[in-house]
Amino acid sequence: MNTLEITKEPETTTQLSGSQAVLEALLAEGVDTIFGYPGGAIMPIYDALYDYNDRLKHILVRHEQGGIHAAQGYARTSGRVGVVFATSGPGATNLVTGLADAMIDSNPIVCVTGQVFAHLLGTDAFQETDVINITAPVTKWNYQVTDACEIPTALAKAFHVARTGRPGPVLIDITKNAQLQLFAYAGYQPCNHIRSYRPKPIVRMEYVQQAAALINEAKKPFVLFGQGVILGKAEAAFKAFIEKAGIPAAATVMGLSALETSHPLHVGMLGMHGNYAPNVLTNDCDVLIAIGMRFDDRVTGRLDKYAKQAKIIHLDIDPAEIDKNLKATVPVWGDCKETLPLLTDLVTRRDHKEWLGRFRELEQAEIKEVIHDELNPTSEVLTMGEVIRTLNELTGGDAVIVTDVGQHQMVACRYAKFNQSKSNVTSGGLGTMGFGLPAAIGAWYGTPDRTVVAIIGDGGIQMTIQELGTIMQFGAKVKILILNNEFLGMVRQWQQLFHDKRYSFVNITSPDFVTVAKGYGIPGQSIRERKDLKQAVSDMIAHDGSYLLEVMVGKENNVFPMVPQGSSVAEIRLK
């Protein structure tokens, strides 16, 4: 069986081309924005798009990687499916990094790629690549369409798979003949069931009861929350749960903003460059409640020394995550939007004042050793931390913070304040340099009324700097904040700490970013003195449109605390 089961029986039919059917499907799924780049094998779809211009906004990116990162940013701030168009061959292979990124960070994405005519498949035709096999390991599902009749069903299935269960990227590869083919179109029927696909398990009350019993007996319970809370749209249920049970909660990088930073039970960020208290006390708590997170190695440090003393309750929608890295005492499979309220009902109202106090004590130690000097430095050179502090002061924590990858990412995640969910957009699992700028563009389209600030290193910006052209042409109001330390900072930090300061190819030179931005019609400035910082950040935010601010920061500053690779979380270093 090669073909999809076509569910819709034609009642009244119209003749449509495969290309039109693609666009009808997008409309039916409520898509308003497409990020894409045309080419030979997808020309019929772009031709059809000409007539849908009033209903579908297409953003012409400057590189397909930029297109998919933009779609990811869009998905992350809007909570909707991000859509990407690309042509066959190089267009499709340029998507691979973004697919891998979206896969590991569970972003709902639908990519439509053009493919050569069906009769040319396997002939090494011009711009033919085996996109299905190349992308299989980095997609939740993919499918090649060679007959237009399959298009409505394939797209319906694509949207269903991308956004349900644990979300992920889906790629539909459509041969050119199918795009051109006229067929009897019977309308679009959304997909809500695939027999071989069970996006969410039925919640078993037994687990919930066991979990509640453990929590009610606990003296030192500790909650870890990940992006699952955001993906499950369960922020309110999550807050209700921790508030009733009185449990301190720490975020993974991907979970940031699911709970407002200022919440009294928010005790910071986990992981390699996370906060001191949540890392240390992971190895002291008696019940560890993990919600929508997957115990990534950057979170756990050395696994055989991770939370050995604790009972583990793991709430996740993906059964493959349960027991994958850490054995759960009680697994609570299910959508946390369903399981959390059930759990909240069964837990007793508590307040673990003393236990929470331990977090606050250790926090003081971290403030004294690290945070205070990072945010209020007396050094001559600016620190990344004080830039973020200034940003917090001027946005009040209302901005969407998009980051690239490196030291600036960790500093931003550590210090940025978030008042509302879906405000932190970063490449967590894959750590993709070059993610920041295009993701910020998409993030802005996902929520155009909010201030979107892209915090990017001098290395990462140069990986996808061409997307300034997209901003120039389509006007996304992205604030680009380059934290320039004239190094590939994070790698330099490791070379300093673990390779005897043998700086091997981490010294990177940059163009004059302000001039580059100017070339793209984007205003900006570069500063290096403390006295200019506040005004410069304020100018950037106040400007009605995109703006580039480069801040020259200390060249050899390090991000601390740090859990060195191979160490336990309790061995976190403050310096």
Q: Which stretch binds other proteins (CB under 8 A): 213-221, 501-509, 529-537, 539-547?
A: 213-221
How many CA atoms, within 13 angstroms, populate the side-chain half-sphere of residue 75? 33
Question: Quick one: which segment of 62-70, 108-116, 227-235, 480-488 binds ligand TPP (CB under 6 A)?
Answer: 480-488
- Residue 298 near residue 269, CB atoms below 8 Å: no
In the numeric block, the tokens 């990412």 are attached to 409
Residue 558 interacts with other proteins (CB under 8 A)? Answer: no
Residue 297 engages other proteins in binding (rule: CB under 8 A): no
CB of 460 to ligand TPP, least distance (A): 4
Which of the residues are catalytic?
64, 126-127, 176, 490
Of the candidate residues 178, 186, 326, 433, the single one contacting ligand TPP (CB under 6 A): 433
From the list 145, 159, 169, 144, the residue with the least C-alpha distance to 189 is 159
- Binding other proteins (rule: CB under 8 A), the pick from 12, 54, 122, 202 is 202
Tell me: does residue 347 bind ligand TPP (CB under 6 A): no
Which of 115, 129, 421, 432 contacts ligand TPP by CB under 6 A? Answer: 432
Q: How far is the CB of 212 from other proteins (least distance, A)?
A: 12
Which CB atom, from 206 or from 297, has the smaller least distance to other proteins?
Answer: 206
Angstrom distance (rounded) from CA 65 to CA 71: 10
Q: Which of these, 414, 427, 419, lies nearest to 388 by C-alpha position?
A: 414
Residue 431: which of ligand TPP, other proteins, none does it interact with, CB under 5 to 8 A by kind?
ligand TPP
Is 330 or 405 the residue whose CB approaches other proteins more closely?
A: 330
Nearer to ligand TPP, 29 or 101 (CB): 101
Annotate 216-281 with DSSP letters as a single string: HH-SSEEEEE-THHHHTT-HHHHHHHHHHHT--EEE-TTTTTSS-TT-TTEEEE-STTS-HHHHHH
- Measured between alpha carbons, how far apart are the two ends of the chain, in Å? 60
For 214, the enclosing helix (H) or strand (E) is: helix 205-217
H helices within 164-204, ranges in order? 176-180
Q: What angle do CA 159, 450, 439 make, to 5 degrees?
A: 50
Radius of gyration of the chain from Cα atoms? 24
- Using CB under 8 A as the binding rule, whether residue 105 contacts other proteins is answered as no
In the 3-class helix/strand/coil scheme, how is 69-104 assigned residue by residue?
A: HHHHHHHHHHCCCEEEEECCCHHHHCCHHHHHHHHH
Judged by CB under 8 A, which of 133, 378, 504, 509 binds other proteins?
Answer: 133
Applying CB under 8 A, among 121, 180, 197, 503 the residue interacting with other proteins is: 197
Which residue in the set 8, 57, 80, 204 belongs to the binding site for other proteins (CB under 8 A)?
A: 204
Alpha carbon distance 218, 196 (integer Å): 39
217 touches other proteins by CB under 8 A: yes
Q: Cα angle at 399 between 225 and 527, to 5 degrees?
A: 120
When binding is defined by CB under 8 A, the residue of 47, 243, 286, 398 that contacts other proteins is: 286
Task: Tell me which residues touch ligand TPP (CB under 6 A).
Answer: 404-408, 431-434, 457-460, 483, 485, 487-491
Task: Tell me which residues touch other proteins (CB under 8 A).
Answer: 1-2, 132-133, 136-137, 140-141, 144, 161, 192-198, 200-202, 204, 206-207, 210, 213-214, 217, 286, 311, 318-320, 323-324, 329-331, 333
